[in-house]
Amino acid sequence: MYRIPCGVLALLLCLTGRISVHADPLVYEPGIDPGAGMNLVSWWNFGSNGPAVWENAVQDLYDHGFRHVSFVPLRFVDEATGHVIDEPHAQAPDLAHVAAGVAKADALGMTVTINPFVQPTDWSWRGLMNFSGVQKANFFADYTDYLQNVAVVAQQHGAVRMTIGSELRALTQDPSHNAEWAQVLGAVDQLYDGQLGYAANWDAYRGGNLTSTIWEDPRIDFLGVDAYFPLTTNAQADASGPHPDAAFIDTVQQHWATLLNSDDFLGGSVGILEFAQARKGGGGMPVVFTEHGLIPFNRSTVFPYSEDPGFQQPEDPAEQVNGYDAVLRATDGMASDDQLLEIHFWHWGMPGAADSFWYTHPEASDIGGGKFHESLSQPAGQFLAGYVPEPTAAASLAVLLGLLGLLRFRDRR
């Protein structure tokens, strides 16, 4: 990918007439605002059609204006044995199929993150998994192999960022695993020279053992947060109106400002950005919101991490859009000094991702037979697609950068 100093990029963008700096918080300014991307995840293995499914999903995302994408390879874990299941699985796409999507994104010039998941076979939350004895040895041996395979894909196809895990709260909070995490990091670092990070759950990113073992490791380059922080009260969510509800948006925006700058919610006065800047001996680390999502139901902003509003509350796509409006306003301009690099919204409406309350697509139609009407995601999909640059503008910028002779390189250090 092209790497340009932010000031140069801002100047070039202004010269093209596309934008002016901070002219509108709901107009994406590359190099100034956090990159707005979508997670691509599928809970289905499409067999021989798999590569085309992933390539087409990437093209669809690109055609809707997105230039940032996060791929989510998935493997299941047998908690009884600790083994990570690597043979073909109906709900875990082959890594080679995901790799076809990564290669497509790289060819299109998109900024690529790869965020590998492991999921217990009973579909319980991965953050509760923990192991000891033989099960622990099995898990870390298999997990290391899995991440090495992902690292090869990331290296071969130009991924800018890769995480070494997502929401593995129990496994990162337990100091008995510190040696294993160091080995995992070393194995991945040998194969991948892009930016390495970890995707911490919203309520655990400050964990003491996580900090000393992961964040302070010199091989870790960015601090990932799955940002499902509660943002409103029940009463505030219940009172929200059609988008744009200025008062509600301001309430959510102010809560984001607190979380980012002076978070008392998690028992301290240090917000996400200050916590990140204190890392590496005060040298600081950039932040990536590896996930942020809301669902089109009332009180989604109260429980962003939960499906429960979708079962207990009425449909409310406007609250979802108002919430997304607020996070874009709250983070406006934060990429210009490498505070918050990207926001990966959870998740795009690709095949195999239906019946998820977080399914998002501007032209979604109901697939039927499940718990969720996918068409409810249309307003959020249209709002986010309206925020990112138009394909023609992005293409014009790419031509301009090429004419200026900027060099193509990747360097995480």
Q: In CATH, what number is assigned to the domain containing residue 380?
A: 3.20.20.80
The answer as to whether 321 is a domain residue is: yes
Instruction: Tell me whether strands 195-201 and 222-226 are parallel, antiparallel or unpaired.
Output: parallel
| Total Cβ atoms within 10 A of residue 144 | 19
Give yes or no for a contact between 120 and 129, defined as CB atoms under 8 angstroms apart. Answer: yes
**Is 122 part of a structural domain of the chain?**
yes
C-alpha distance from residue 275 to each of 166, 178, 266, 270 (Å) = 19, 21, 12, 6
State pTM to two decimals.
Answer: 0.89
Q: In what order do the strands lie in the sheet with 84-85?
A: 84-85, 74-77, 117-120
107 part of a folded domain: yes
Count: domains in the chain: 1
The verdict on residue 239 lying in a domain is: yes
Residues sharing a CB contact under 8 Å with residue 262, sequence separation 6 or more, in sequence order:
269, 270, 271, 274
How far is 110 from 112, CA to CA, in rounded Å?
6
Flag whether 6 is in a domain: no
Whether 44 and 90 have beta carbons less than 8 Å apart is answered as yes
The 3-state DSSP class for residue 243 equals coil
Residue 410 lies in a domain: no
Q: What range does the domain containing 183 cover?
A: 30-389
Identify the residue whose tokens are 């009463």: 235
Residues in the chain where the model's pLDDT stays below 70: 1-23, 263-268, 390-413
CA distance 57 to 41: 10
Question: Do 199 and 166 contact (CB within 8 A), yes or no?
Answer: yes
Contacts of residue 224, defined as CB under 8 A and 6 or more positions apart, other chains included, come to: 115, 163, 166, 197, 198, 199, 200, 287, 288, 289, 290
Beta-bridged to residue 342, according to DSSP, are 35, 288
Please tell me whether the peptide bond between 244 and the residue prior to it is cis, using omega within 30 degrees of 0. yes
Residue 344 lies in a domain: yes
At residue 330, φ and ψ (nearest 5 deg) are -65, -30
In a domain, residue 10? The reply is no
